[in-house]
Structure 1
Amino acid sequence: MRTTVGEFIIRRLKEMGIEHIIGVPGDFNLSFIEQINEAENIEFVGACNELNAAYAADGYGRQSGVGALLTTYGVGELSALNGIAGARAEHVPMVSLAGSPPLYSTEYRWNLHHSLADGDFENMLESILPFTGAAVRITPMNVVEELDRALHICLREKRPVHIQIPSDITHLEIEAPDEALDTTLPTSDAERLEAATARVLERIAEAKKPVFLFDQDTDRHGFTEKFRTLVDKLQIPYSQLTSGKGVLSERDGLFLGSYNGKASAPGVQKIVESADLLFTTNPRFIEVNSGSFTHHLPAEAIVNFGDQHVNVGGEFFVGINTLELLDALIDRTKTSRKKKKEEFVYDEWEIDAEAPLTHARMWPRFIRFLEDDDTVIAEAGTSHIGLTPERLPKGARYINSPIWGAIGFTLPALLGSMLANRDRRHVLFIGDGSFQLTAQELSTILREDLKPIIVLVNNKGYTIERYILGMEEKYNDIADWQYAKLPQVFVPDTTMVSYQARTEGELEDALSKIQTSDAGAFLEVHLDAMDAPAGLKAFGPMTADFDFGPRGPRNP
């Protein structure tokens, strides 16, 4: 079929399920934006800057399966690179598009704005390539081949890909295939699939102390529902890395708690490390999810599910579509006769109305506020650590950046996630320091008439850094904004309602009003600057020991 380059790109994005492209206009991408505006069932959403746009595309991808970003050459691409790298680290599929200089100008090496004025137009692609699965510049001659190749890599490998679109080619006609983009994974080698299935079934039959241990790749590769079925059939207990929080229900009686080396939930380390069959999903241990590398998984007991292979105690089966393997295991396992354990129930809770807010009391109260099927977004640092020991409601989706850990990620990620699913209630927990990095994206959230619940933890600075080093040093302080007034500053007629709480009684009153309102909410909670969740108080000194060595500085 005959179509233009831009129309072909848009069609492919829609075939991937993308309905929003988030970005910032620039002269090299305006021709493409015009085509997006003319297309049906897809929309360009402008963000305040390229970094925020990349974070938002990441959040969109976590909610819908793949996100899309649009920037302009050089200044835009590099501004977004931190967010692109975060998607790579967290295994989030993202299609990063960048308008680039006209094709003739790059071929003749003209000195242009947004470049180094040295005729080099490869340096941007070379800078971005290490953080993506592919980085290409398309032309009318290669767009069909290169675009489809990049998109398949994005979906198959769960990585961002970067595609430069010269500004003078978007309206040129090409011959494009009639067929839609095939987004399915290749099927397995039949013999390897059968051999792997039989071997895993043997291990299940032999096991006396089996355990599932989940990490974020369980979600990224679409394994979650299939593992949920296996857990229900086999009645095998399960744990999670803190980087895989909330992948499966944390309120099922089979849930053990989080595994984090010596910093695991009580009793979990012993159960996981003594398992004679340990199912894993490509766990990636870094210092923050391994108790500073105090994890010791029993290698001979591990059955590890990658996306295209399985490792059974050191025996590798490759050429496998793991989704097919999980289906085969579900079909060929018997339902356990063991009685399912009791579901989670809350402890008794009483409010001390005059008591000032503390982390020890606040996070257990917030977990009672959350509802089934909420999307819960927690900023790296205090919010994530505060929520880690709390058990999320059924069906809750948890968004966090535990590996890349760039503060400020979550406010734009909230924007992207809500664009992908407006009907799902979203609750964001973010610290004041993180909020100040990307605060302007609140204006986009309000402009798009989204109605999240935003909880801003105001403790006058970088609490996580204080507990690592510089507890009372000025470098960990920040300006104390009047945060609760910002919704009205950004959009004077906003329907978002602001609340503030300094005591348990004020918090209770605010949560009660928020719970019964359809409006968006901005709740600022005030805590002492030296207060922190128990996990953070332990994490800080442990991090100082790891970072600074035996002769380095420490908090008094």
Structure 2
Amino acid sequence: MRIAIGDFLLSRLQDAGITEIIGVPGDFNLNLIEQIDAREGIRFVGTCNELNAAYAADGYARSRGLGALLTTYGVGELSALNGIAGAAAEHVPMVSIAGAPPLYATEARYDLHHSMGDGNFENILSSVGQITVAAVRITPHNAVEEIDRALHTALREKRPVHIQVPSDITHLTIEAPQEPLNTAWPSSDPERLASAVERIAELFAQAKSPVLLVDLDADRHGFAESLQKLAEKTQTPYAQLSSGKAILDEQSPLFLGTYNGAGSAPDVRSKVENTDLLLTTTPRFIEANSGSFTHKLPSEAVVDLGDQHVSIHGEDYIGITVQELLDALLETLPATQGTAAEQATPAQPAEDTPEWEVAPGAALTQKRLWPRMAGFVREGDVVITEAGTSNIGLGPQRLPSGVKYVNSGIWGSIGFTLPALLGSQLAAPSRRHLLFIGDGSFQLTAQELSTILREDLAPIIVLVNNRGYTIERWILGMRSAYNDIANWDYGKLPGVFHPGTSMVSHSASTEGELEDALAQIENSSAGAFLELHLDPEDAPAGLKAFGPMTADFDYGPRGPRNA
């Protein structure tokens, strides 16, 4: 069939499950936005800037499986680059699309706006290409091939891809296949699959204390449900990295807790490091999730489940679709009658926190706050935590079953979570969304609250107001002015950004005020903006340890802390 290039691109995005494209209009992409507006089943959602759009597309992908970003050439692409890089670091599949100058102008090397004015139109594409797994400028002759290749690559590699669309080709027609985009994985090599299943079954039969260690790739590749079933069938206890929080059920008696090298609870560390069979999902250790690189996995016992291969005690089995492997293991492995589960020690909170009893006049503290907020989370919620106090405070708390936990534990770009909330709730509007964000992070991307309200979304936003960058204070400059920020009147912002909004603002400085606010929020279907006031120098126990460790790592023995 013949179809306009822009319509072909949009049809492929729809085949992959996209119903919203998030971005910012610009002269080189307006014609493509016109095609979006004219098409059923897909729409354009404009944000306040391109960085926020990239963060939102990341959040959308985490709830939908793929996100789409639309910017304009040069200034838009580079403004979004940090968000695209975050998706790459966090293994999030995203299609970044940029309207580009007309094809004739790029081929003739015109000096144009949004460029360096030197006729070079390769530098922007190559810049984005450094952090994407595919970056291409399409033409009428390569559009079908390159669009399909980019989408398949994003879905297979769980990374962002980038497509530049020259502004003068979107309405040109091309010959295109009538079949929808095939998003199915290729089947495994039969012999390699059978050999891997047989070998893993042998190891399970021999193992006395198997353990499963989960990181974020288990979520990105869609393995969570199968891994949960495998753990329950074989009664295999499991732990998680902090970057893999709540991928498997934290309420199960099989859940050991979070493995963090020397920073782990002793029982968790012992079980992970001394197991005779450790199933992993390609963990990536950075200083923050490894106890400052003190992790010691038993390499001779590791079976690593990648996305397209399996490594068994260092021997690679190539040509395997791991979901097929998990399905085969669920059929092959015999059920275990509870012996391993009885050996598992239920995970405990990181801090010794007493049962919650409200002290109405008591000032809010980090130690008391986070167990209470974990108790406010319901089964099936989407919980989004900003890097810093919110993630470090809520991370050790056990969350209800079925919770999706979103954070940026590896890239750690502050301000990510408010736009990510927008994207996630656009992708999964039926789920209750809770955002926990610090005041410093909020100020980086605050204007996207206006888009959330414009889209009539109703999240619960919990803003921790501790007058600045508490995580930085604990690294260096506890009382230095560079860690201070302006103290906004946060509760008025919903009305400022969207007059007449139904979102209700609350404020709490004491435990009694917090309880009153939570009760009102619980009994309302409207969005909520809850501002919590805490001491600037108060921090969760994990942050108090993280700060000095980071300072030692960053500045060394002659650094400013040791002057």
TM-score by length of 2: 0.97
Contact 2:257 2:347 in 1 (8 A): no
Between the aligned partners of 1:354 and 1:266, the Cα distance in structure 2 is 36
Name the residue aligned to 1:21.
21
Give the corresponding residue for 1:188: 188
Mark the CA change 1:555 to 1:430 in structure 2 (over 3 Å): closer, same or farther.
farther
For the 8 Å contact 1:215–1:241, the answer to whether it is kept is yes
SS at 2:253 equivalent: coil
In 2: Cα distance, 1:162 partner to 1:312 partner: 34
- Deviation of the 1:345 alpha carbon: 11
Which residue of the partner structure matches residue 117 of structure 2?
117
* CA displacement at 1:130 relative to structure 2: 1.3
What is the letter of the counterpart of residue 241 of structure 2?
L
Relative distance call for 1:513 and 1:344 in structure 2 (3 A) is farther
SS of the aligned residue for 1:119 comes to: coil
Aligned residue identity for 1:205: A
Residue pair 1:469, 1:555 contacting (<8 A) in 2 also: no
Q: Is this contact kept in 1: 2:367–2:540, CA < 8 A?
A: yes
For 1:460, the aligned partner's letter is R
CA contact (8 A) 1:471 1:555 kept: no
Q: Alpha-carbon deviation of 1:315?
A: 1.2
The answer (yes or no) to whether the contact 2:465–2:531 under 8 Å persists in 1 is yes
CA contact (8 A) 2:257 2:346 kept: no
- In structure 1, distance between residues paired with 2:368 and 2:547: 20
Q: Is the 8 A contact 1:213 1:239 kept in 2?
A: yes
Q: Which amino acid aligns with 1:400?
A: N
> How much does 1:454 deviate?
0.1
Structure 2: how far apart are the matches of 1:255 and 1:422? Answer: 29
Instruction: State the shift of 1:184 in Å.
Output: 1.0
Q: Tell me, yes or no, if structure 1 residue 358 matches structure 2 residue 365.
A: yes
Distance 1:43 1:79 in 2: 22
- Measured in 1, the distance between the counterparts of 2:390 and 2:265 equals 18
2:376 matched to which residue of 1?
A: 369
Q: Which of 481, 491, 516 lines up with 1:484 in the alignment?
A: 491
Residues 200-239 of structure 1 show CA distances to partners (whole Å, capped at 9, x for unaligned) of 1111111011100000000001100110110110111000
SS of 1:325's partner is helix
Q: What percent identity do the matched residue pairs reach?
A: 66
Q: Which residue of the partner structure matches residue 154 of structure 1?
A: 154
Would you identify which runs of 4 or more consecutive aligned residues in structure 1 move more than 4 Å?
Answer: 339-347
Residue 507 (structure 1) aligned with residue 505 (structure 2): no
Shift of 1:344: 8.7
Q: In structure 1, what is the Cα distance between the partners aligned to 2:220 and 2:414?
A: 22
Which of the residues 532, 535, 553 maps onto 1:546? 553
Distance 1:304 1:343, change over 3 A: closer
2:422 counterpart residue number: 415
> Distance in 1 between the 2:499 and 2:153 partners?
44
Partner residue, 2:249: 249
User: Shift of the alpha carbon at 1:348?
Assistant: 3.2
Q: Is the 8 A contact 1:380 1:405 kept in 2?
A: yes
C-alpha distance in structure 2 between counterparts of 1:491 and 1:205, whole Å: 61
Residue 338 of structure 1: how far off its partner (Å): 1.6
* CA distance in 1: counterparts of 2:392 and 2:311, whole angstroms: 32
Partner Cα separation in structure 2 for residue 349 and residue 503 of structure 1: 14
Q: How does 1:213-292 map to 2 (within 5 A)?
A: 213-292=213-292
Other-structure match for 2:481: 474
Distance 2:292 2:324 in 1: 35
Separation of aligned partners in 1, 2:346 and 2:278? 23
Ranges in structure 2 where 5+ consecutive residues have no aligned partner: none
| Alignment of 1:531 onto 2:548 | no
The equivalent residue for 1:330 is 330
Deviation, 1:343, is 8.6
Quick check: 1:296 aligned with 2:303? no
Q: How big is the shift at 1:492?
A: 1.3
Q: Any idea what the Cα deviations from partners look like across 1:140-182, whole Å, max 9, x if unmatched?
A: 1100001111111000000100000000000001000111111
Note the 1:206-217 alignment, pairs <5 A.
206-217=206-217
Separation in structure 1 between the aligned mates of residue 357 and residue 335 of structure 2, nearest angstrom: 41
8 Å CA contact 2:256, 2:347 repeated in 1 = no
Give yes or no for contact 1:53–1:69 (8 Å, CA) kept in 2: yes
Check the 8 A contact 2:241/2:260 in 1, yes or no.
yes
SS at match of 1:440: helix
> For residues 450-504 of structure 1, what are the alpha-carbon distances to aligned partners after superposition, in whole Å with 9 as ceiling and x for unaligned?
0000000000000000000011100000000011110001011000000000000
CA distance in 1, matches of 2:361, 2:180: 61
SS across alignment from 1:267: helix
Measured in 1, the distance between the counterparts of 2:251 and 2:552 equals 34
Paired position in structure 2 for 1:431? 438
Residue 76 of structure 1 is matched in structure 2 by 76
In 1: Cα distance, 2:130 partner to 2:204 partner: 40
What amino acid sits opposite 2:120 in the alignment? Answer: D
Whole-Å Cα distance in 2 between the matches of residues 348 and 57 of structure 1? 39
Q: Which residue of 1 aligns with 2:136?
A: 136
Counterpart amino acid of residue 489 in structure 2: Q
* 1:518 alignment partner in structure 2: 525
Find the partner of 1:464 among 449, 465, 471: 471
> Cα offset for 1:186?
1.0
* CA drift at 1:266: 4.3
Using the TM superposition, give the Cα deviation of residue 109 of structure 1 relative to its aligned residue in structure 2, in angstroms.
0.2
1:399 to partner: Cα distance: 0.2
Partner SS state of residue 409, structure 2: coil
